Structure formats: structure tokens, C-alpha cells
Amino acid sequence: MLEQDISRIFFTEEEITACVDRLAEQVCRDYAGKTPIVVCTLRGAFVFAADLIRRLDLPLTVEFLSVSSYGSGTVSSGNVDIRLDIAENIEGRDVLIIEDILDSGNTLSHLIKELNARNPASLKLCVLLDKPERRMPGVVLRPDYLGFTIPDEFVVGYGLDYNQHYRNLPYIGVLKPDVYRS
Ligand code: IMP
Ligand code: MG
């Protein structure tokens, strides 16, 4: 049923699996001997985070964080509006943020600023998808771990939504234009 709304598959389940394997290897290597706090941003990253952490043979803990999204051009302050904050104190801890997609970079740059103010020992960023063409001028963000770079197209599936739908697609695809029109 959902498949009828998809015009093109960007990444198949197999490609995503291979990608998550590769990222997990890198994370495991870098965090060997550490006890990281993995911060999953809601809601888009929950599928990616669930797959990634099951490949991490590390004594990690998981936290969830939800940030309000701003409309374009409405970000005036240096703070993000955190709707659901993490429960754990991250001071002196190794923190790894898991995000679904890096677009303008607004949300993440503000979130990183906010979390850095809490003095973690380290703060790294793991992003499944990056749309560098969409980055806001002046926002410098380089994910420490990156799945795929994609062009400026709106994608759904594997946690990513359009109007809260399509998160449960097992692959990443592009919606047919008439889905947006209806
Ligand atoms: P940013 O602050 O503009 O980087 O916003 C990133 C957020 O926008 C992501 O966490 C997603 O929730 C959403 N987003 C950006 N591009 C897409 C897309 O192609 N599909 C679904 N959600 C997207
Ligand atoms: Mg998101």
C-alpha cells in the first residue's frame, strides 16, 4: 500500500544494512574502552538508532531527545527549544548524537551548542543522510559518522516522515508528486 506512493527508491534495505554495518564498525573502533551515551533524536532517528546500537558491542546507554523544529528563517536565538530532554547528566561523558538527516543544519548546530554547554568529555555526531546543498550559509557542520550524501530531494522511510507518515517503510525513497498535492 505505502509503496504505491513512492516514485523512486533511493536506498534499499540491503544498502542501508551495509551502510549501518560500516558506521557501527567505525563507532566501535573509536569508542573502544569507553562507556558512551547515545542520544537518539526523536522522532526521525529512532529506526536508524535501533539498528545501529544493536551492532555496537559497547557498554553504552541510550537517551532520547526531542527538539522543536523551526520554520525557515525563524531561528533568532542561539538556543534550541528542547521539548524532551535527556535524563542523564552528560558532564564528563562521551556523547554520540544520532540524527536521521542533516538539512539546513539549524537544529543540529543549536543542539550541539546546547549539549556542549553541559561539558561532555566528547560530543560526536552520527548522521544517516546529509543534504549538503541545503546547508544554511554560516552553518559549519561536519558529521563524525555519515551514512549517505544525497541531493536536495525530500525523502521518506526508515524513520523519516512526510506529515508523520512513511516512517515504517523499510527503505528510503522519494514520494510521488501527487502525494504532496493531495
Ligand atoms: P535542519 O535543522 O534543517 O537540518 O532540519 C533537519 C530535520 O528536518 C531532520 O531532522 C528532519 O526531521 C527534517 N528533514 C529534512 N529533510 C528531510 C527529508 O528529506 N525527509 C524527511 N525529513 C526531513
Ligand atoms: Mg529529525
The CATH number linked to 175 is 3.40.50.2020
pLDDT in tens, the chain (182 residues): 999 999 999 999 999 999 999 999 999 999 999 999 999 999 999 999 999 999 999 999 999 999 886 554 444 455 668 999 999 999 999 999 999 999 999 899 999 999 999 999 999 999 999 999 999 998 889 999 999 999 999 999 999 999 999 999 999 999 998 998 87
Ligand 2 mean position to 87 CA, how many Å? 19
Domain that holds residue 162: 2-181
Ligand closest to Cα of 148 equals 1
Q: How far is the CA of 18 from the centre of ligand 2 (A)?
A: 22
Q: How far apart are the C-alpha atoms of 89 and 11, rounded to whole Å?
A: 36
The residues, any chain, with a CB within 8 Å of residue 84's CB and separated by 6 or more, are 42, 64, 65, 66
Mutate which of 46, 101, 148 for ligand 1? The one with the most ligand atoms within 8 Å of its CB, which is 101
Number of domains in the chain: 1
